Structures are given as structure tokens and as C-alpha cells.
Amino acid sequence: MHNKIKNRKDLQYFLKEDFKHMGGAHSFMLFRWMVGEENARMKLYLWVLRHLEFYTNVKVPVIGIFLKLFFEIWHRRQCFKYGVHIGKNVCGYGLRIVHIGGIHVNANSVGNYFSVTQGCVLGNKRTADDRPVVGNHVQFTLGAKAIGGINIGDNAVICPNSVVISDVPANSIASGVPVNIIKQRKIETTE
């Protein structure tokens, strides 16, 4: 579904795409983080997550072990601080976290350019392997849930407070509890 970070060039590309998809100003990022700007906090969270993935996947002699442990602890601390729990090596590049709080992404894999907002949960149903697989350019809106070993196709939009318990085809808008496909979108992608 997506590439893992295998070297420093991949790390830089993932971060560039994440920050580009997040939007907002990049100037005075430290100041913006210190005054509590939400977008700056999520960029810091993504920076820590991507570095944790890098040091998990790439074997860096001696210091890499300590850096992996450092980023593991920092990531865990930020998960509890911001209420955003995203596992390492789950999401592709271009990850966008719109609002912090109550986000739990425990999927088998999530494609590139995934967008998630507050209150969204992607998780297993019975066993650890019974988790969702999410395609590219998917948007999870406020409070949406996806439970079990389901597939969500590319360019899908899951509407607010919807519960996905069955497959969602590509290029569709799904809403309801449980979800129904309310519209098929005509999307022309360049990828």
C-alpha cells in the first residue's frame, strides 16, 4: 500500500509531503508550537512519528538504538499529551491530522495522503490482524469509525459520526451507522 521509510532521503520526503498536506505557515514554527498553535503541534507529532519510523526501520550503529528509544518515549508521551495514537509504519506519506484529540489509528495499513480529524477510530474487531486497510487519498471526518478487517478504497470520504463495518468502494462517499454509500465521485487522479 505505502512505502516504509528506508533511508534518510525517504524520511525527508515523508516529512515534506506530511507538512505540505498539513498546510499552514512554516515560518516561526518553534514560536507557533510554544504558543500552542494546533497545526504546529501536529507537525511536531508527525516529525517525531516519522523519526521513530526511521530509527525503527534503519539499523544505525550504536547511537541508533538510543535514538530509537528516545523517539519511542517521546512519541508515547505525545500520544498521551495530544490524544493522537498512530502506530509506527502504519500510514503512508502525506498524513494530515486536522484536529487533535481522540484519534486512534490501529489499521493494517493506511495509504498516502490520508486525512483524519478529531474523534476518529480505526481498529480491530476480534483479533490483532482483523484491522482495516485504507487506500490513498481517504478522508475520515469528525468522529468516523472503521472497525474490523475491512477495505476502504482510494479517494473515499467517510462522513461525520459514521461507523464502517463493511467494505467501502473507491471514489465513494459513505455515511450512516452502519455506513451506506450515498454517492459515487468522479475523480481523475494524476498518481
> Which amino acid, one-letter code, is at 113?
Y
pTM across the whole model: 0.88
**Digit-coded pLDDT (tens) for 142-152:** 999 999 999 99
Whether the Cβ atoms of residue 101 and residue 79 lie closer than 8 Å to each other: no
Which helix or strand (DSSP H or E) is residue 174 part of?
strand 172-175
Residue 70: how many other CB atoms lie within 10 Å: 15
CATH number of 102-184: 2.160.10.10
Domain boundaries, the chain: 8-84, 102-184
**Digit-coded pLDDT (tens) for 75-128:** 999 999 999 999 999 999 999 998 888 999 999 999 999 999 999 999 998 888
Kindly provide the b/e burial profile for residues 132-144, where b requires at least 16 CB atoms within 10 angstroms of the residue's own CB. Answer: bbbbbbbbbbbbb
Q: How confident is the model at residue 1 (pLDDT cuts 50, 70, 90)?
A: very low
